[in-house]
Structure 1
């Protein structure tokens, strides 16, 4: 099942957690063990309207805040700021979210009320989760959970324990289970349907994760649990404010039916997706709509009903285009699915059209994601700067208090004698003045350091994201992937089962190797050679075994030496595409790869030879060639960055000598050996 449509899958968990916490975090029930002030009742009433009437919700919350300020109640003021922060999160207003959360938390330091401190900690935890600072998010949410537990605020505890469970996933399954079960216990004590559904979704996520290593019994337990969850949600639908959570329950139950170890219950599967789609359209919840359409489309694709699958994906696109905003992520997802359907239908004209639109929206999606990461990084540093400034103000206040005490001391000394008072005042005043000057200088240095660190970090992050994006694009040519899969499909249709399975295994292994190595800083030479072998053998399949290859290592090289990943494969791609592929049919192609180590310079020298048409002939053909390779530019940039540590890093490309070495091209790579 594709992870893009499975809300509880590991790859989608991070985005889903942000979305789920955004929809229904900390909704306050009027019944709690500790008394609730009239101001908190007003602000919680306004917060409850956040889905149905955003303008009215903010108006009521600001009225509650003004009343708290008028009554000079710092406790109520902190709680109002916490609710306003969470409302701004739902509106995706990061600047206002940051302002209200910081204000609530730092005002809470001067109050003793447990509820106020708990709300402030919960708002800060939500902020840290939103800007992807998971360790800090856990610290604040655990603190809020502890404080709400002290006052038996079970509805709040149920929701915060659920969020903590999500944040511990997938790193710590025991803690995921611990807090999911505690959420269920608190939800039962609260009697609040909203909290109960929230907690059951968290525990259901834990049961779904267990299916990866479980069997039929675990699946039956999970299905039974989600059926009960859906039934409770339908029964209490009028009392549940976050209608999206009901839709999520339907989606998760439908997804479970696709994982049935025996056979899928199509009727139940489609019924739950239909209910989820209805909620998504009524309340405009994008992730539920995307998941419902995607699961249906995937199901009919696997079933072989390509026409129905295509209609579903087109319906999703048309619905999105009618909305007043554009969701580039959703559009890119649907066009990607349409490409897959076109391949299965062998409608290559439609594939080209869908691929063009997919590329457009995928680029826009990437730009939005990059901008979001930069904004989150800026928010993290802004929050850090505020904390530093508050510490500076606390030091200044402490200094002012000490100066007041000094004045009182001087007044007392006047009773003893003028001379002793003068001496005491003079030396003490000079000491504190020097200390004040020192603190001011430290403050100025600290602010300058924070500004420089912020600027440098954001610039480095932007450069790194740009290079990583271009590197990922150059890893595997889409034409190569499509042709390799086409050849494998052709083998299967011709009933060449054994070679088809062999090449399919090689393709799967190559894909996994590329994805894994793109996330690593270093790999061994042995891993690089294995990846090259898989890649070249798939290229041989693609070109009907029209060329041979040789990979040799100098006898002195240890194959466990570490090198940067994915440096060599792009040049093999160039050799095949621009050297061997245009070669005449009567000439047998050959790629030779040799490795030797330069121990004095700590470099691995990789020499790549091909007997293709050569550089000059290749440049003439590139005018009409649609294949574009970014390998030279990206590899040059990567090696340039490596030259700070290893000045010998780099590569050269030249023609082979026709008279002495034969026709073709030579690439010599100087790769740094990393410790």
Structure 2
């Protein structure tokens, strides 16, 4: 879904005509006005009237208002002038200049009486405008900070029109980071106000809400909001957003297996999107049509529409649409019997999927950070309120000596809470790294299985898929926890090595030993060892001519779990030379993530984590392989 903020109005011909008429009327009044303070106010009003038709003229009148306000020392009108200048720069796409003007406006307004209703209204508008700029720059944390401040101000002066807009903007931000639950909450808040005040934007809100309910599989509510959206668009037509509504409704009918009705809505969406030149919506519409024709077995029509969709999505750089388009193309060519093209587009699909996964992981980390910042601010606000109460009570009842004692007591409390927050931040960082590890491992396995299936017979491929599915089930289990029991990790490593044995035609043997003294509930970070084992396979035993051996051994002492990974491969120096001679040198993302995970684990546990990687040599100084020695602080699974 495209971002839709309600600072700027939808530009419709009739609306622009009305705005220009209003501007002409204001200019006429301005020419007859003699009061300089009222002339300044009129200049700002004229500037605002041009925001939907001509941002350059808007700037001209805003600058005149600024000069006039400074002459009259009118701080409120000066703040409005900076607000108008900032808005004109948003329209022109000059986001840095827009922020500069909004900051100047905010600083002036904060110096005025904060209880004044007019000042609150202007300040809220400035903060909401800053929220839009930060959202366009994908700085969602800053955007929410400003939007929440604007929301509280609008609530305090009961400005329902602007509240509906700010609720929508907050919903758009949460939807942009795939937090559907919070997005739905704020879209519904906007909807409830818009319904009462008969806001023309109600149709768009209904469409957004319907799509979230559809994604949540609540078909009844989705249909109800889609129907209401159609009714509202009939009252207040808006072709651009109607095109996106038809796309959303088509997905409802596809879910209901009513492909003919879905097809009808999609062709209506195509016509509208072409009329208003909405390429984003058109890319999605073509892809939806291609999927329908694929399901109906009309492969040529499906190929035609998915090709159109990909042309647009690549031009606009839409990762999800690219991924889905490449996957459908691979499936089409596979059904047509063109295995070569099917494989080419399968590789493109895997590349697009990895790119999208990085974006999704970034969104997950952002959601975690936003939640953490919200909790942190709540704690700070509560502490501030409590501290003010304490100061008030003890100023009357307790002597200076007791107050001094309380001061030191609360300072220590603050330190403890700061340490707690720091520990929580480290935990969030550790979880974020773990989130990156899972998709990387899955994509490595998918690449391996694609290569294997293309090169081997069906019987071996079936064996490989069986082991792969078992490994994926374990990986999905691991995704729920940052640490797993040692036996689970061993099971995953054994499955992984058996897959690699099949892939490389039994090029190596392996053995995994665990000291009987190690408790069953001993834990270690999930998938932490896999990159080092992968290195032993790919860069150790596979490049050598003779059959290799990989040994993995787990022991423990009083403080540490000791993990040893040893191979009799070509060794570190030879491996480096082979990499240098290859066409492209690949830097292992998994090893880098593992290194960062070890750093955060060390900070979290406040215990030293030891990692050594060294080459094994015989008496003649010749390489006999590589050994990885990892010492982790003992930890156990919590029931």
Matched, 1:163 2:169: yes
The match for 2:441 is 476
Q: 1:191 to 1:75 in 2, by over 3 A?
A: farther
Write the distance in 1 (CA, Å) between the matches of 2:594 and 2:629.
13
Q: Which runs of 5 or more residues in structure 1 are unaligned?
A: 1-6, 8-15, 32-36, 212-217, 381-459
Q: 1:270 to 1:352 in 2, by over 3 A?
A: closer
Instruction: Pick one of 248, 251, 259 that aligns with 1:252.
Output: 248
The 5-angstrom pairing of residues 441-460 of structure 1 reads none
Instruction: Pick one of 184, 190, 194 that aligns with 2:197.
Output: 190
What is the deviation of 1:656?
7.1
Write the distance in 2 (CA, Å) between the matches of 1:469 and 1:98.
36
The 5-angstrom pairing of residues 362-441 of structure 1 reads none
Q: 1:104 to 1:564 in 2, by over 3 A?
A: farther
Write the distance in 2 (CA, Å) between the matches of 1:183 and 1:634.
41
The match for 2:123 is 120
On the 8 A contact 1:122/1:144 being kept in 2, the answer is: no
Write the distance in 2 (CA, Å) between the matches of 1:637 and 1:288.
40
1:230-280, Cα deviation, whole Å (9 max, x unpaired): 45336533xx5xx6544432332233333336767442353254146426x
What is the deviation of 1:84?
4.3
The match for 2:552 is 593
Write the distance in 2 (CA, Å) between the matches of 1:227 and 1:528.
51
- Report the secondary structure of 2:99's partner residue: helix
Write the distance in 2 (CA, Å) between the matches of 1:362 and 1:315.
21
Instruction: Pick one of 48, 51, 64 that aligns with 2:52.
Output: 48
The match for 1:102 is 103
1:466-507, Cα deviation, whole Å (9 max, x unpaired): x9799769933856423314657999x959998687446336
Matched, 1:142 2:154: no
The match for 1:278 is 274
The match for 1:20 is 4
1:392-414, Cα deviation, whole Å (9 max, x unpaired): xxxxxxxxxxxxxxxxxxxxxxx
Write the distance in 2 (CA, Å) between the matches of 1:534 and 1:83.
63
What is the deviation of 1:579?
3.8
Write the distance in 1 (CA, Å) between the matches of 2:120 and 2:226.
35
Write the distance in 1 (CA, Å) between the matches of 2:52 and 2:229.
22
1:447-468, Cα deviation, whole Å (9 max, x unpaired): xxxxxxxxxxxxx99xx99x97
On the 8 A contact 2:611/2:631 being kept in 1, the answer is: yes
Write the distance in 1 (CA, Å) between the matches of 2:221 and 2:344.
41
1:132-175, Cα deviation, whole Å (9 max, x unpaired): 226624531431431452xxx543232223334556777795x7
> TM-score normalized by structure 1?
0.61
On the 8 A contact 1:301/1:309 being kept in 2, the answer is: yes
Write the distance in 2 (CA, Å) between the matches of 1:20 and 1:647.
50
Instruction: Pick one of 264, 267, 278 that aligns with 2:263.
Output: 267
Q: 1:118 to 1:256 in 2, by over 3 A?
A: farther
The 5-angstrom pairing of residues 149-548 of structure 1 reads 149=158, 153-166=159-172, 173=181, 179-193=186-200, 195-211=201-217, 218-230=218-230, 232-233=232-233, 236-237=236-237, 240=238, 244-260=240-256, 265-275=261-271, 277-278=273-274, 282-283=276-277, 287-296=280-289, 311-312=304-305, 314-316=307-309, 318=311, 327=316, 329-330=317-318, 334=322, 337-338=325-326, 341-342=329-330, 345=334, 346-347=339-340, 351=344, 355=348, 475-476=440-441, 480-485=445-450, 502-503=466-467, 505-506=469-470, 508-509=472-473, 512=476, 525=486, 528-529=489-490, 531-543=492-504
1:491-529, Cα deviation, whole Å (9 max, x unpaired): 9x9599986874463364366468667xx5x66645644
**Residue-pair matches, total:** 527
The match for 1:383 is none
Q: 1:59 to 1:509 in 2, by over 3 A?
A: farther
Write the distance in 1 (CA, Å) between the matches of 2:268 and 2:475.
34
Instruction: Pick one of 503, 511, 535 that aligns with 1:574.
Output: 535
Q: 1:637 to 1:160 in 2, by over 3 A?
A: closer
Q: 1:487 to 1:307 in 2, by over 3 A?
A: farther
On the 8 A contact 1:338/1:351 being kept in 2, the answer is: no
Write the distance in 1 (CA, Å) between the matches of 2:340 and 2:160.
57
Q: 1:474 to 1:107 in 2, by over 3 A?
A: same
On the 8 A contact 1:336/1:355 being kept in 2, the answer is: no
On the 8 A contact 2:44/2:84 being kept in 1, the answer is: no
On the 8 A contact 1:81/1:103 being kept in 2, the answer is: yes
Write the distance in 1 (CA, Å) between the matches of 2:626 and 2:295.
45
